[in-house]
Structure 1
Amino acid sequence: MPFFRCSLAATVVATLSLAVPALAQDEEQHSTLTIGAGAAMIPSYEGSDDYRVLPIAQARGKVHDYAFWTRGTSLYVDAIPDPIGPSVNFELGPIVNVRLDRTSRKQIKDEAVQLLGKRDLAVEVGAFVGIGKTGVITSDYDNISARVAVTKDVAGAHGGYVVTPTVEYFTPLSMTTFAGLSLSADYVGKKYGRYYFDITPQESLASGLDVYDRAGRGSGFKRMSANLTAGKSLSGDLRKGWALFGLAGYSRMLGKYADSPIVSDAGSRNQFVGALGIGYTF
């Protein structure tokens, strides 16, 4: 489904569930599950200045201390079990992502970008590595983590690679409230840039946008993003039951990707996202 392609919006549910294992550590809960659903305002395509309001759904949990979580259309599985209590946590495991950007003309509001034609579905497979620390600043339950994910398309769509470094911090403000901040970037290969941001002479003739070939000449940083999240338990305890969540996010398209007419003429370098929803922790 096209709405799952926006990882910015879906980050809020994953961040909500981050609070669950940390707060549950004093009870030594070795298995947990948080699911969430809501609505998000997202760009109609990466680099667009038009927005759509669409549903989102995400999940995070752990089974016998082995964590998993979804982030947008990505699934992460941590092959290193989480420790109990305030400690350092190492992460390493596989990641699979399905990229649906511009796979349907119906999701694109800009007529010129529609005329460029749709893109094929990309299936990106790879791995991630990271490190986190629970019990950092505000309490035994706040958490800071950093990870790098590397994936490559194996479905024959863009055929390139994506490297995503991420830094996240969250803190419970009480047993019922939490807040979080995440910073990330996307570094992509030349095949990715060529597929999504270059414009061939034939595509230029069809769409009216200028010919562009700089994005496919080499790799580079495509985008930087920042997200603020917050959540409020409806059951009186973030470790279980229902909770409301919200997100406000901003990202900036960078360099030769921002200079593509798909962004500079038909869209915008500045990208915004907002989301509201509800989650349940078992």
Structure 2
Amino acid sequence: MRRFSLSAAGLALATAAPAMAQEAEGPPVDMGDTVFAGDYLSIGVGVAINPSYTGSDDYVFNVLPIVQGSLLGVEISPRAAGITLDFVQDPDEGVGLDLGISGRLRANRATQIEDEVVELYGELDRAIEVGPHVGVRVPQVLNPFDSLTIGADVMWDINGAHEGMVVNPSVTYFTPLSQSVVASLTFSTEWADEDFQDYYYRVDPLAYTGPGASPLAVYDPDGGGFTSAGVNLLMGIDLDGDVTNGGLGLVVIGGYSRVLGDAADTPFTAVRGTRNQFLGAVGVGYTF
């Protein structure tokens, strides 16, 4: 069984989906006759609406590219503001191993700060996070064409922003709903070390650039810990009715997460924002 997907996870959050998308009652799909039998590439663009910063109750729009595929045996999968390269091909049958490299750009409080008080504490630098990705994929969990993927990204900032480490475990269930529609449900969380927490969640009166005294109380994070947990639903729709032949496709993503620990207790969230974070995205792509 060859891995393929119809997704726009580069919009915010989703995963590549290994499966054979077809009607469950229909005849088996010969993957050698599909666009996913050899090298393929999906490119496109999407629009996402998401919080202005982690913990914000203001929302902003972002236009983001979509890139994924398989080239020379390397699987390319989008991540939230990033990408993953998997160097281990899945077997034709049985459990598959994911092993590769993940990278992402984190622009939290680096731009589009909508809250006028938080903005006066200054913009932060963008972090470039890179590190290993590992996971396992179990096919045919509830039907012949679904899969369950358990994985994690472990990444370090190499751009001198937070200079810390983040770990992103996730569990994704993928299933085709018809020959033209696929869906995946992802549960994920994020753990970050002390350097990360201090950079994003510390409230320092000396950083305040507005008039008078700092309006937010001093806050010092306790150290490393979980920053969020959430769920995302992805729906992919092939526009010619057959996901296996490539072409144009639409993706719709909806998600909810709740910030935890220091990310929730910092005044940037507790006073100026909210623990509840929502995500919406739509995109269009072309697979060839």
Q: Which residue of 2 aligns with 1:264?
A: 270
Map 1:229-240 → 2, pairs under 5 A: 229-239=234-244, 240=246
Q: 1:246 aligns with which of 242, 247, 252?
A: 252
- Residue 42 and residue 55 in structure 1: after superposition, are their counterparts in 2 closer, same or farther (change >3 A)? same
1:11 counterpart letter in structure 2: L
More off after superposition, 198-207 vs 269-278: 198-207
Conserved in 2, the CA contact under 8 Å of 1:8 and 1:227?
Answer: no
2:45 counterpart letter in structure 1: A
- Please give the secondary structure, in 1, of the residue aligned with 2:57: coil
Map 1:10-25 → 2, pairs under 5 A: 10-12=12-14, 14-15=15-16, 18=17, 22-23=20-21
Map 1:15-164 → 2, pairs under 5 A: 15=16, 18=17, 22-23=20-21, 26-28=30-32, 29-84=37-92, 86-104=93-111, 107-139=112-144, 141-164=145-168
Conserved in 1, the CA contact under 8 Å of 2:228 and 2:259?
Answer: yes
1:233 counterpart letter in structure 2: D
RMSD, aligned CA: 2.0
Q: Does 1:277 align with 2:283?
A: yes
Q: Does 1:171 align with 2:175?
A: yes
Q: Normalising by structure 2, what TM-score? A: 0.86
- Please give the secondary structure, in 2, of the residue aligned with 1:11: coil
Counterpart CA distance in 2 for 1:97 and 1:219 is 20
The count of residues paired between Structure 1 and Structure 2 equals: 266
Conserved in 2, the CA contact under 8 Å of 1:177 and 1:233?
Answer: yes
Q: Which residue of 1 aligns with 2:189?
A: 185
Instruction: Quote how far apart the aligned CAs of 1:8 are.
Output: 8.5
Conserved in 2, the CA contact under 8 Å of 1:253 and 1:270?
Answer: yes
Q: Normalising by structure 1, what TM-score? A: 0.88
Conserved in 2, the CA contact under 8 Å of 1:153 and 1:159?
Answer: yes
Q: Does 1:209 align with 2:216?
A: yes
1:268 counterpart letter in structure 2: T
Conserved in 2, the CA contact under 8 Å of 1:8 and 1:249?
Answer: no
Conserved in 1, the CA contact under 8 Å of 2:10 and 2:83?
Answer: no
- In structure 1, runs of 5+ residues without a counterpart are 1-6
- Residue 101 and residue 196 in structure 1: after superposition, are their counterparts in 2 closer, same or farther (change >3 A)? same
- In structure 2, runs of 5+ residues without a counterpart are 1-8, 23-28
- Residue 8 and residue 59 in structure 1: after superposition, are their counterparts in 2 closer, same or farther (change >3 A)? closer
- Residue 36 and residue 137 in structure 1: after superposition, are their counterparts in 2 closer, same or farther (change >3 A)? farther
Percent of paired sites with the same residue: 38
Counterpart CA distance in 1 for 2:53 and 2:217 is 19
Please tell me whether Structure 1 or Structure 2 has the larger radius of gyration of its CA atoms. Answer: 2
- Please give the secondary structure, in 1, of the residue aligned with 2:12: helix
Q: 1:219 aligns with which of 215, 224, 227?
A: 224
Instruction: Quote how far apart the aligned CAs of 1:147 are.
Output: 0.6
Q: 1:228 aligns with which of 226, 233, 239?
A: 233
2:262 counterpart letter in structure 1: K
Conserved in 1, the CA contact under 8 Å of 2:120 and 2:209?
Answer: no
- Residue 159 and residue 128 in structure 1: after superposition, are their counterparts in 2 closer, same or farther (change >3 A)? same
Counterpart CA distance in 2 for 1:174 and 1:222 is 36
Per-residue CA deviations over 1:233-253 (Å, capped at 9, x if unaligned) read 111211211111111100000
Conserved in 1, the CA contact under 8 Å of 2:228 and 2:257?
Answer: yes
Conserved in 2, the CA contact under 8 Å of 1:197 and 1:260?
Answer: yes
Instruction: Quote how far apart the aligned CAs of 1:66 are.
Output: 2.3
Instruction: Quote how far apart the aligned CAs of 1:26 are.
Output: 3.1
Counterpart CA distance in 2 for 1:52 and 1:220 is 27
